[in-house]
Amino acid sequence: MPDKLDRRKKYTRMVLKDSLIQLMNEKTFSSITVKEVCVLADINRSTFYTHFTDVHDLLYSIEEEIIEEMNKYLNAFHFIVEEESIQMTEKLLVYIKERKEIFEALLENNTGTSFEKRVMDIARLFLINKTDTANIDAASYLSTFIVSGAIHVIKDWLLIDQTQSPKQMAELISQFCNKGLGSMENEKSRE
Amino acid sequence: MPDKLDRRKKYTRMVLKDSLIQLMNEKTFSSITVKEVCVLADINRSTFYTHFTDVHDLLYSIEEEIIEEMNKYLNAFHFIVEEESIQMTEKLLVYIKERKEIFEALLENNTGTSFEKRVMDIARLFLINKTDTANIDAASYLSTFIVSGAIHVIKDWLLIDQTQSPKQMAELISQFCNKGLGSMENEKSRE
DNA sequence: GACACCGTGTTGGATATTCAACAAACAGTT
DNA sequence: AACTGTTTGTTGAATATCCAACACGGTGTC
């Protein structure tokens, strides 16, 4: 919201985040020190503490950014028709793939509220909005099921093969979700 | 010398230089504005004026940096034997090639003391040091000849073909210079 | 245990950058 | 000629960062 950030603040936060991301690609998160991050970012250590309390806090702010970006993609779903949703999913997957290492680090690292849980929360919210509001409980359960399924499919895709293109994955996941949503429609009509 | 520059100063100067270099690759030098450079560098315009008086001044400081770097290479010649000098020349050429666009811009752009003249000056100094001090005048004239020749050979190489590798060019230029220096030796022995 | 070493938070004064605003010069338009 | 838009230098107060120094806790070594 406070997009009216001072140029200097923006820059400092950016390089610190980038440093941590780079370091996470080289070593385990728990072995990374504040000092290390600052040296790489070429930022005075005392400045670090005016922005973040510690390395976890910095990681958390990276999460924030990622989550926010994913939210944009998901929000866009509301305004598009079925055929375009596959393309949208593809964009999301490309975004994830380009940040492969960050996502892996975030999924592995369980500090505080896990990244996975937060992603599920926003995705669930999205799914509930998308379906009819009459049957919220069912939608909630089902969306948990669908989203956790999707996340693990993406996780495997990231970690293991990636022989499938983002486009192919998008179609696969889209099918997967629609089947789930479809079953809920049946559920409702049977009432 | 004042290598004890504040981190912020270093960063500001660096991004401003980089911006100008990038812009010089996209448009003519004279069409580049201070504002443009600052926008690209994401630096406040008023900050620009605490470091440089105008765009020419900024360009000049880029020259300084380049000249300084070339000086290092040339100074290194003093301490190496003949066989290694070809490798050294090669390094210098690789350095130039990596900054092809900057050199082209600097060679084209004649503001104030031309870049070409300055390079010749430092190269001449180097050559005079390298040869016997007895015959300074002759060395000076000859070095002007050699260096200007070398610069234009390099210029052509940069601008036109580059089918020759830096290594091949290094051997060629080295031959070229040694022949010149050799002739000076003859000159002296004939006295 | 005593020791040295290293990372952590925190502080205060010095310094650099930002931002908004201004007058001035200039180029193009009507 | 008046108007519009743009770049240029310059200013002062607000803000962010730097830097050096400190006390503290942990870790390993003799």
- pLDDT at position A3: 46
Distance, CA of A5 to C1' of C26, in Å: 34
- pLDDT at position B1: 39
Contact between the CB of A7 and strand C at under 7 Å = yes
A144 three-state secondary structure? helix
Q: Collect all residues from A whose CB is shorter than 8 A from any CB in B.
A: 7, 11, 42-44
Q: What is the rounded CA–CA span in Å between residue A41 and residue A24?
A: 14
CB nearest to B44's CB, from A7, A42, A44:
A7
- The per-residue pLDDT for range B24-60, each reduced to its tens digit, is 878 888 889 999 999 999 999 999 999 999 998 898 8
Residue of chain B whose alpha carbon sits nearest to that of A43:
B7
Is the pLDDT at B12 greater than 80, yes or no? Answer: yes
A172 three-state secondary structure? helix
HEC secondary structure over B7-42: HHHHHHHHHHHHHHHHHHHHCCHHHCCHHHHHHHHC
The closest nt to B8, taking CA to C1', is C16
Give the number of A-B residue pairs with CB atoms closer than 8 Å: 8
- pLDDT at position B190: 43
- Helices B136-159 and B100-108, axial angle in degrees (round to 10): 120
User: Which of chain B's residues have a Cβ under 8 Å away from the Cβ of A42?
Assistant: 7, 11
- The per-residue pLDDT for range B135-176, each reduced to its tens digit, is 555 555 555 555 666 666 666 676 665 677 777 777 766 665
Q: What is the rounded CA–CA span in Å between residue A37 and residue A35?
A: 5
Contact between the CB of A191 and strand D at under 7 Å = no
Output DSSP code: residue B79: G
Most confident of A174-178, B5-9, B78-82, B84-88: B5-9
CA angle, A122 as apex, A14 and A175 as ends, to 5°?
Answer: 115
User: Which of chain A's residues have a Cβ under 8 Å away from the Cβ of B43?
Assistant: 7
Residue of chain A whose alpha carbon sits nearest to that of B44:
A7
User: Which of chain B's residues have a Cβ under 8 Å away from the Cβ of A43?
Assistant: 7
Is the pLDDT at B67 greater than 80, yes or no? Answer: no
Q: In the predicted model, what is the mean pLDDT of residues A106-121?
A: 61
- C-beta separation of A132 from A188 below 8 A: yes
Q: Collect all residues from B whose CB is shorter than 8 A from any CB in A.
A: 7, 11, 42-44
Nearest residue by alpha-carbon distance to C1' of C15: B6
- C-beta separation of A179 from A147 below 8 A: no
Domain ranges of chain B: 1-52, 56-190
| Element containing residue B142 per DSSP (H, E) | helix B136-159
Contact between the CB of A9 and strand D at under 7 Å = yes
Lowest mean pLDDT among A69-73, A168-172, A180-184: A180-184
What share of chain B has pLDDT > 90, as a percent? Answer: 17
Is the pLDDT at A4 greater than 70, yes or no? Answer: no
Q: What is the rounded CA–CA span in Å between residue B133 and residue B139?
A: 8
Choosing among 3.80.30, 1.10.1740, 1.20.1070, 1.10.10, the CATH entry for B1-52 is: 1.10.10
Quick one: tokens of A9?
Answer: 């603040």
Is the pLDDT at A147 greater than 70, yes or no? Answer: no
Most confident of A75-84, B8-17, B97-106: B8-17
Q: In the predicted model, what is the mean pLDDT of residues B86-105?
A: 71
CB nearest to B42's CB, from A7, A42, A44:
A7
Buried b (16+ CB within 10 A) or exposed e, B106-117: bbebeeeeebbe
A1 three-state secondary structure? coil
Whether A11 sits inside 8 A of B42 (CB atoms) is yes
User: Which of chain B's residues have a Cβ under 8 Å away from the Cβ of A16?
Assistant: none
Contact between the CB of A47 and strand D at under 7 Å = yes
ipTM of the complex: 0.64
- pLDDT at position A188: 45
Is the pLDDT at A52 greater than 80, yes or no? Answer: yes
- Categorize the per-residue pLDDT at A167 as very low, low, confident or very high, splitting at 50, 70 and 90: confident
Is the pLDDT at A137 greater than 70, yes or no? Answer: no
| Element containing residue B106 per DSSP (H, E) | helix B100-108
Output DSSP code: residue A29: G
- pLDDT at position A43: 93
- Categorize the per-residue pLDDT at A189 as very low, low, confident or very high, splitting at 50, 70 and 90: very low
Contact between the CB of B28 and strand D at under 7 Å = no
Quick one: tokens of A83?
Answer: 């055929």
Contact between the CB of A42 and strand C at under 7 Å = no
- pLDDT at position A35: 93
